[in-house]
Amino acid sequence: MSTIPDKPSRVSVEERLFSLVLALIATEIGLTKAEILSTVQGYRQRYAVGGDNASLERQFERDKDDIRELGIPLETVEPPDDPGSNHHLRYRIPKGLYELPADVSFSADELMLLKLAATVWREGSLSGESRRALTKLNSLGIDSTDPVLGYSPTLRVRDASFEPLSKAMDRGQIVAFQYLKPGEGLPRRRRVAPQAVVLHEGRWHLFGTDEDAQATRTFLLSRIVGPVVTVPGATFVPGGAGKGQEALAELDALWRANLAEITVEPGSDAAVRLSKRQAVEPGRDPGESTVALHYTDLDILADELAGYGPEVLVRSPSALRTAVLARLIRVRDAHADAFLESDAEKEGTE
């Protein structure tokens, strides 16, 4: 193996990216775009000296994004004697920021826990990230026992908006989407600076700044009914670490402050399922058919309770009572016409 032959054969994507990373780590002062395109494996084969390299330049822009996406700190350095010049921008990857900090190490037990944590994302969103994180962990050469697979708790994110939202959040991009607010019949377009995505009480929430209201809002991912698009040119400065915990604390406080009291039909679906969420209230002895529930959003709980039909009766708060009754009446009246003849025998099957 003396030199890589200069043949114009196709260089694979990973070879080009790998070569680019190596070249940018090896350089102290950085490489200009022209230097990269003319010398680095995968580009140089397609570089036209003195010619038009527009498509190669676009390739380089995409590669830069892909590399940064993997957490590799690809930096742009402005030349001190010529600030603002695009032409003489230099690119490099500072080794100290590329490498794992020297004082970080993981024990075999910790590694096992991390492997289990990675398997939590079974499919879709963040499963690719977990997989790559595991590959990086494996490079440390720590041997660990595999976690017990018979019991593998997994998290599935069904909401299609999760992926574009979390990406926009990392990039500080403002997004727009159609949002069908619980309790409303028509969606409205929202423009939001996404700050955190939070799983609370089993539901994914987006926490962010509503650009039109200029205030913090919480959205349910399941109620985003159209594609999430980025607003061209609209960016914001992400709030940084702690935004997620802040959002969670707010939701928690809300959840604790709201309490609904409901009567459930013994033995029914509502009784079996809702009683598992029974709020623990000191000094209060709920009867068998009474359930107290904490909640964050009255309309969401009203939707759920209306689904139980006659199996539940809301006692309090009265706003919830009204909301559930209004929903039931709406559904009843929407189905009110026709089919009167065959009903009688079908009733009373519960």
Partner 1 sequence: MNAGPALGASDKLTFLLSLVPYLMDHESVSVSTVAAHFGVSPERVRDAVNLIAMSGIPGETRQYLHGDLFDIHWDEFETNDNIVLTHLVAIDDSPRFSAREAAALIAGLQYLSSLPENADVEAIASLMAKLTRSASATPSQVVVSSTEPGEAIALIKAAVARGVQIEFDYLSSRGGHEARHVDPMRIESVDRDWYLRGWCHLRGAMRTFRLDRMSGLRVTDVPAGSGSAGSLPDTLFQGSDSDLEVVVELPAAAVPLLADYAPQSAGPDAADGLVRQSIRVAHFHGLKRIVAGLSGLVTVIGPPEARALTRDWAAAGAARYDEAVPGDREG
Per CB under 8 A, contacts with partner 1 among 201-220 are 201-204
Is 29 a binding residue for partner 1 by CB under 8 A? The answer is: no
**Binding to partner 1 by residue 346, rule CB under 8 A?**
yes
Contacts with partner 1, 74-93, as mask; x by CB under 8 A: --------------------
Which of 87, 55, 57, 61 shows the shortest CA–CA distance to 74?
A: 61
Among 88, 191, 200, 217, binds partner 1 (CB under 8 A): 200
Can residue 256 be called a binding residue for partner 1 (CB under 8 A)?
no
Q: Which stretch binds partner 1 (CB under 8 A): 10-18, 48-56, 81-89, 229-237?
A: 10-18
Q: Of 48 and 225, which CB lies nearer to partner 1 in the complex structure?
A: 225
307 binds partner 1 (CB under 8 A): yes
71 binds partner 1 (CB under 8 A): yes
Q: Residue 129: CB partners within 8 Å, gap ≥ 6?
A: 121
State in angstroms the smallest separation of the CB of 29 from partner 1.
13
Burial class (CB in 10 A: 0-12, 13-18, 19+), 224: buried
Confirm or reject binding of residue 58 to partner 1 (CB under 8 A). no
Q: What whole-number distance in Å separates Cα of residue 229 and Cα of residue 168? A: 9
Residue 328 binding partner 1, by CB under 8 A: yes
Task: Mark out the alpha helices in 161-317 (DSSP H runs).
Answer: 162-171, 243-257, 269-274, 298-307
- Binding of partner 1 at residue 325 (CB under 8 A)? yes
> Does 41 participate in binding partner 1 (rule CB under 8 A)?
yes
Please report, for residues 160, 189, 220, 237, 247, the alpha-carbon distance to residue 175 in angstroms, rounded to integers and kept in the order given: 14, 10, 15, 13, 18
Residue 200 β-bridge partners: 203
